[in-house]
Amino acid sequence: IQEDEDFRPNFHFSPKENWMNDPNGMFYKDGTYHLYFQHYPDDNVWGPMHWGHATSKDMVKWEEQPIAIYPDSLGYIFSGSAVVDKNNTSGFAKDGKVPVVAIYTYHDMDGEKDGRLDYQYQAIAYSLDDGKTFTKYEGNPVIPSTGIKDFRDPKVSWDAEHKQWLMSLAAGQEIIFYSSKNLKDWKELSRFGEGIGNHNGVWECPDLFPLKVDGSGEEKWVLLVSINPGGPNEGSATQYFIGDFDGKTFKVDDDFKQNIEEEHDYWVDFGKDNYAGVTWSNIPDEDGRKLFLGWMSNWLYGQEVPTETWRSAMTIAREIKLIDYNGELRLISSPVRELNTYEDKGIAKSDLEVSGKILFADSSSVDLSSVIVRYSIDSLNDGYQIILENGSGDELVIGYEKDNNEFYVDRSNSGRTDFSEKFTNKISTAPRIDSSAIHNATLILDAASMEIFFDDGKNVMTEIFFPKQPYTQLSIKAEDGSLKLNTFSAKNIHLQTD
């Protein structure tokens, strides 16, 4: 029976010890990507929140660093962001050192216990050693509570177009935008959210940013909003909105409004395990990418998953793009290309008629707990299934059903599932967005997670699982031999540990 360290990801970030949730404060500076995270270093469940810290040269191979921000008398340190204040707008620079400024929420546990509603407020802290250690600003909080109970997760970025620091903040089931010249004084600009989008839970972890429509000169603004519960497959998930921002107000396009009202399928990820994801700040213009990463778990069962030493991992870092597809704007995502540099030996096949179940790869050719699988289907008369098995009865099934044009992930027999009923009470589904006859997908498998990017990332599904033995077989199955496979490959991901 596998336990604990066997479930440790091979190439996703997980803390050495104890509890982790949301990614926080992601920024890039001088060749290093920084990732902070909601962390309780003393237990494997949620508790007094700190900002843990990890760094990477490529967003794939992470090194955990000492804790960056500790709770204090103002409260726990909740989610937030970090920016590189190149022009020293904050005045925190010293001896020519560029300040990195973190903006986060204080959560006053005593306030919550006393039943008050004013226990969340926004604060800043600065670092003069590139994000290793932070000094809290003596004028905190920079945005006092307004009496809205859920008032948190400030995401700040430099809005180059309107020359301001721009903050998105979650407040109940709305997002409040603020602007600032110096990261200390904030002025409310506008609010967004009433009457649009999914409201079956609390809105959290927003992120508003401009993004070019791929292949055109057109620029739109994208707003990410995590919601818990209320996800398309229950629990936590992240929805998005597309529109314009004039420096004050974010307004979705009429088309978008109509589409989201008709069928809300504007989800960054349809799987159960990608939450609170936001984008990196300070990515150089030469790079030009929008880079994203989320917490690979769900509040429905995140604190009960069968690992004791540590709990939870982050998704693979992803590039997100805006595309105009069939006259509709859509957000798509794909694993960052840096992952490809770790591809090692594997197998590849092409031109296959699939009849019944065909074994593609087993543990003699690839390690199925550290692999990237790609396939492309030329034609399909019916649905298909991708099946992972271990010979001891555990199976994870990923599939497509033609009748209702839906992708799905079925982990109900994937291994250890008894820790929470909510882990398996629903098979996750995703309405297919692409309308082409050709199906392609990239599937990333780690020891306890799968992330599948269907149709160039138009539908993404991320889910975790805990097989009793490692999966050893990967097959494809098409009921009536009605599937023609163009290509199929499985390549090990191998992170040299030097």
- Which residue ranges make up the site for ligand FRU (CB under 6 A)? 21-22, 38, 49, 78-79, 105, 152-153, 204-205, 276
Q: DSSP states of 215-282 as a string?
A: TSS-EEEEEEEEEES--TTSS-EEEEEEEEE-SS-EEE-HHHHHHHHH----BS--SSS-EEEEE-B-
Rounded to the nearest whole angstrom, what is the least distance from the CB of residue 297 to ligand FRU in the complex? 9
Q: Is the dihedral of CA 94, 100, 105, 110 positive or negative?
A: negative
- C-alpha separations of 459 from 48, 229, 264, 271 in Å: 35, 20, 13, 9
Residue 448 neighbours by CB under 8 Å, 6+ apart: 7, 9, 313, 464, 465, 466, 467
Rounded to the nearest whole angstrom, what is the least distance from the CB of residue 299 to ligand FRU in the complex? 7
Nearer CB in complex with ligand FRU: 38/390? 38
∠269-272-273 over CA atoms, to 5°? Answer: 80
- Measured distance CA(488)–CA(490) in Å, rounded: 7
Q: Is the dihedral of CA 395, 448, 44, 137 positive or negative?
A: negative
Nearer CB in complex with ligand FRU: 89/312? 312
Rounded to the nearest whole angstrom, what is the least distance from the CB of residue 78 to ligand FRU in the complex? 3
Nearer CB in complex with ligand FRU: 12/432? 12
Rounded to the nearest whole angstrom, what is the least distance from the CB of residue 382 to ligand FRU in the complex? 39
Q: Is 22 a catalytic residue?
A: yes
Rounded to the nearest whole angstrom, what is the least distance from the CB of residue 144 to ligand FRU in the complex? 17
Tokens of 447: 């020891």
What is the residue type of 86? K
Q: Are 473 and 362 in contact (CB under 8 A)?
A: yes
- Measured distance CA(467)–CA(390) in Å, rounded: 8
Nearer CB in complex with ligand FRU: 36/78? 78
Q: Which residues pair with 375 in a beta bridge?
A: 441, 488
Rounded to the nearest whole angstrom, what is the least distance from the CB of residue 202 to ligand FRU in the complex? 8
- Measured distance CA(136)–CA(92) in Å, rounded: 11
Rounded to the nearest whole angstrom, what is the least distance from the CB of residue 3 to ligand FRU in the complex? 26
Tokens of 78: 């909740």
Among 43, 42, 33, 27, residue whose Cα is nearest residue 13: 33
The bridge status of strand 174-180 relative to strand 164-171 is antiparallel
Q: Are 325 and 456 in contact (CB under 8 A)?
A: no
Rg (CA), the chain: 22
Nearer CB in complex with ligand FRU: 43/255? 43
- Measured distance CA(154)–CA(180) in Å, rounded: 13
Rounded to the nearest whole angstrom, what is the least distance from the CB of residue 153 to ligand FRU in the complex? 5
Q: Per the residue annotation, which of 4, 6, 22, 456 is the catalytic one?
A: 22
Nearer CB in complex with ligand FRU: 204/446? 204
Nearer CB in complex with ligand FRU: 82/332? 82
- Measured distance CA(447)–CA(12) in Å, rounded: 10
Nearer CB in complex with ligand FRU: 176/396? 176
Tokens of 46: 């949620």
Rounded to the nearest whole angstrom, what is the least distance from the CB of residue 139 to ligand FRU in the complex? 21
Nearer CB in complex with ligand FRU: 274/449? 274
Whose tokens are 């699982």? That residue is 465
Residues taking part in catalysis: 22
